[in-house]
Structures are given as C-alpha cells and as structure tokens.
C-alpha cells in the first residue's frame, strides 16, 4: 500500500483557542470530521505547529472523539473518547490508531488545541493511512456570532470563517507552501512567495500527497528498552510503599532511606574528603526550600536541567533528553502523589547488565527527598531552573 496524506491549515485565534478539555471553553477549538472508509484500518493523525526559528513553542495536543452527528462537539464523556495525546511544548503531536467504521456512517471528530485558552498560533493537521487512501478530514467551522441590531452590515462580526478552496496546481507548489510555513518539505526555491495567511478561524485544504522523506534530523529518537515492569513487580512495589507509609504514619515523621546517610559520607563516596562537600551546609526537603514545592511545573511543561558541581554531564544530559518527552519522564516515577507527601518516591531506572550475574532490566529504587543544599538554602548540585520544581534533584 502507498501511504497517502491529507493536510489542513488552521489557526488558534481569539475565537478558536479554547484550551484543553479541563477548560469549559474547549469546544471553540478547531474541530474536524474524520470518516474511515475501510474497516479496522490504521490512521496516523499529526498536529504540527508553525513556529519561527528561536520562538517559544506552544504546548499543544489533540484528541479523537466519537461523534453523534457530522457536527461540532460541545460536550463529551469518557465513552466518547477514542484516544488522546499528551500536551507538550513540541513541534508536533501524533496519534496512531485503528478505527472501525461506525454504525449509520457516524464519524469521528478530531479536536486540536493549546493547553490554555487564548494561546495563538498557526498549525497543520494531517491524516495518513496506507490502508484507506479515501479518508478525509473535513473542518467543522465555528458557529458565527449572533446578529446584533446595532452592527453595521459590513461588520467583521458577520464575517463567517470559510474554507479556502484554492489549491496549488501541482505537488511542487504544495511543498513550497509547506516550506514557507516552517514545515518539513522538499527542497524549494527561496523565491517562492509566502502564502497569504488564512483568516482567523478558517482552514485551508491541500490535496492528497505522497508521504515521504526522512524524519527531521533535529528531533531525538526514543528506543524502547525492555518491557518495563511486570504486574507482579508493580504489585511488589506498591506493597513496599504501603509498608513504608504505614511506618511513617506510626512515627509521625517523613520517610528516610535507611541505605542513604544524609551527611558528608554521601558526598565523598567513601573518600576522606571532596572539595565540593564544603559547599553543602545543610540537608533540606523540598517543602523546607519552597512553599510551592512540587515535582513538575505543570501538566505539560518541562524545563531544562541546571548542572551543578558534579562532573556528571553524562547524567544531566540524559535527563535533559528524557525531559523532552514528558510521558517518558512521568514513567520514571511510579507514584507522584501519596508517597510524595511523606518524602517517598519510587523511581524506575533501566540498569544495564554486567554480562555476568546481573541481567539488564528495569529496577525500582525507593528514595527520600533530603537534598544537599548550599549556603543560600537551594540545592547544591543538579537542579531545575525553577526554584519550586524538584524532579531533577530527587
């Protein structure tokens, strides 16, 4: 089968930026009908934001819902949800999902948004399938504002968002337009004029084109290593956490890792001294450092890593790469709620085998949140840029 792709251009503007589903205004986001024509075919839906070089990326995401009619969704339940992406500050978000043809020809609806309302920018939404070349994305236009008696006839209030029906005559022009909009495309001349932006809230069709070309070279590629933890291992971890939390409840204190001594011995690694240990004047927990202490900044954003005195750039660099994929970072912490209230974290790390007795695989480490701090009261070694965020030092 040949992979076929359809693209639409759109914009989050004042009337079409409603934020993620946790906001009551989510329904004003751009929505699109997706109607499969092949049973159980696989579809890849990609949302790509347009961003100038050096500009700040918006946190974006998309979700796919079952629709009751070929109309915009204004509410949905968990039963309507087919799949959804995370919200990330990234160029693109992708969903790959097999879909069934629904009874009565009912469609699916794709909704794409920024994390918060009133975050503005342009985007491209595409759908591709090697098994269903006839699949289409159809934009569901926002409902126009009601007519007011005091509005002049030519008021912008009456300007209904519309579909741009003009399409390039050949694929080279399509590629040129994509290149001008910051998309990955074929090599084109720099003399090609930049397309005129569509009106806010409108969408522009591009015809089907063959998908091809290499993936962007500046994006990290993540490789699965092992199958993670088994259900038995997870059960053992949770049982151990319950035991530790029960002990904390009996003593009324915070969890302390018995294998880790929060003193100079933890800094010298068994040596008599280390020059960096003099920088550590106290050991403090996150809530003693900041009244707004938490593991992550919010539901989507992850900042970089500030390297400390240790010569462990290999580790801080790896942390920084993993932080670029929020779902991977969250997967390293088995519990981020109950245990954290008592200074207890279950951290999952992949340990390479030594070729002899130890096999490669995922292991869980229980750690407390006592952190070595300097004279200013902040973590002395690797930390997060924000003073309230502590996933790096933990």
Residues 111 and 240 in one domain: no
383, 393 Cβ separation under 8 angstroms = yes
Domain contains 393: no
Residues 107 and 241 in one domain: no
Place of tokens 């462990």: 312
Domain contains 308: yes
Residues 124 and 22 in one domain: yes
Q: What is the pLDDT of residue 329?
A: 81
The candidate with the shortest Cα–Cα distance to 372, out of 248, 221, 231, 260, is 260
Residues 245 and 130 in one domain: no
Number of H helices, E strands in the chain: 6, 16
Domain contains 187: no
Where is the domain boundary, 101, 122, 140? Answer: 140
Q: What is the pLDDT of residue 161?
A: 33
Q: Is 265 helix (H, G, I), strand (E, B) or coil?
A: helix
Residues 368 and 252 in one domain: yes
Place of tokens 């005129």: 196
Q: What is the pLDDT of residue 170?
A: 34
Distance from C-alpha of 24 to C-alpha of 70, rounded to nearest angstrom: 22
Q: Is 109 helix (H, G, I), strand (E, B) or coil?
A: strand
| pLDDT tens-digit map of 70-115 | 899 999 888 999 999 988 888 999 999 999 999 988 999 999 999 9
Place of tokens 């090609």: 192
Q: What is the pLDDT of residue 370?
A: 93
Q: What is the pLDDT of residue 62?
A: 96
Q: Distances in Å between the alpha carbon of 88 and those of 47, 57, 97, 106, 300?
A: 12, 9, 19, 30, 5
Q: What is the pLDDT of residue 143?
A: 54
Residues 257 and 365 in one domain: yes
Q: Domain range holding 106?
A: 4-140
CATH number of the CATH domain containing 96: 2.60.120.380
Distance from C-alpha of 19 to C-alpha of 9, rounded to nearest angstrom: 18
Q: What is the pLDDT of residue 272?
A: 65
Domain contains 203: no
Distance from C-alpha of 263 to C-alpha of 282, rounded to nearest angstrom: 9
Domain contains 190: no
Tell me the DSSP string of 217-240: TTS------S----HHHHHHHHHH
Q: Which two tokens stand for residue 277?
A: 């240990």
Q: What is the pLDDT of residue 312?
A: 82
Residues 251 and 361 in one domain: yes
Q: Which ranges of the chain have pLDDT less than 50?
A: 144-220, 222
Q: What is the pLDDT of residue 392?
A: 92
Could you give the count of Cα atoms lying within 13 Å of 38 in the half-sphere of its Cβ? 13
Q: In Å, how far from its chain's centre is CA 325?
A: 7
Domain contains 116: yes
Q: What is the pLDDT of residue 149?
A: 40
Q: Which two tokens stand for residue 388?
A: 């309230």
| pLDDT tens-digit map of 349-360 | 888 877 666 677
Distance from C-alpha of 73 to C-alpha of 106, rounded to nearest angstrom: 13
Distance from C-alpha of 249 to C-alpha of 10, rounded to nearest angstrom: 53
Work out how many domains the chain is built from and give that number. 2
Q: What is the pLDDT of residue 259?
A: 84
Residues 236 and 361 in one domain: yes
Q: How many CB atoms are located within 10 Å of the residue 174 CB?
A: 19
Place of tokens 């919010």: 298
Tell me the DSSP string of 323-355: TTSHHHHHHTBS-SSTGGGGTEEEEEEEE---S
Q: What is the pLDDT of residue 76?
A: 87
């Amino acid at each position: 089968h040949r992979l076929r792709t359809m693209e639409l251009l759109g914009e989050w503007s004042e009337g079409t930026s409603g934020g993620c589903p946790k906001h009551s205004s989510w329904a004003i986001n751009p929505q699109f009908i997706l109607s499969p024509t092949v049973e159980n075919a696989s579809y890849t839906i990609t949302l790509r934001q347009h961003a100038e070089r050096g500009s700040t990326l918006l946190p974006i995401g998309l979700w796919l819902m079952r629709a009751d009619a070929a109309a915009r969704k204004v509410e949905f339940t968990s039963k309507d949800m087919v799949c959804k992406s995370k919200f990330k500050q990234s160029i693109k978000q992708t969903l790959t999902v097999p879909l069934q043809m629904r009874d009565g020809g009912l469609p699916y609806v794709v909704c794409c948004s920024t994390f918060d309302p009133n975050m503005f920018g342009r985007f491209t939404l595409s759908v591709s399938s090697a098994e269903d070349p006839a699949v289409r994305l159809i934009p569901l236009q926002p409902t126009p504002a009601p007519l007011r008696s005091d509005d002049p006839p030519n008021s912008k209030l009456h300007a209904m968002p519309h579909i741009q029906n003009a399409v390039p005559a050949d694929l080279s022009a399509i590629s040129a337009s994509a290149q001008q909009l910051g998309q990955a495309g074929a090599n084109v001349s720099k003399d090609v004029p930049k397309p005129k932006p569509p009106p806010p809230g409108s969408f522009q069709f591009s015809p089907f084109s063959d998908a091809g070309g290499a993936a962007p070279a500046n994006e990290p590629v993540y490789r699965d290593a092992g199958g993670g933890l088994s259900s038995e291992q997870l059960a053992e971890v949770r049982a151990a956490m319950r035991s530790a939390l029960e002990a904390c409840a009996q003593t009324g204190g915070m969890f302390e890792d018995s294998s880790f001594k929060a003193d100079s011995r933890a800094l010298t690694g068994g040596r008599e001294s280390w020059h960096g240990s003099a920088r550590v004047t106290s050991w403090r927990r996150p809530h003693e450092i900041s009244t707004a202490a938490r593991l992550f900044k919010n539901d989507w954003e992850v900042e970089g890593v500030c390297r400390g005195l240790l010569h462990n750039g290999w580790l801080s660099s790896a942390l920084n790469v993993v932080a670029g994929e929020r779902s991977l970072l969250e997967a390293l912490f088995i519990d981020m709620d109950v245990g954290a209230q008592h200074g207890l974290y279950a951290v999952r790390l992949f340990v390479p085998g030594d070729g002899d007795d130890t096999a490669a695989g995922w292991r869980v480490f229980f750690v407390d949140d006592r952190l070595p701090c300097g004279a200013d009261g902040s973590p002395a070694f690797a930390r997060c840029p924000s003073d309230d965020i502590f996933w790096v030092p933990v």
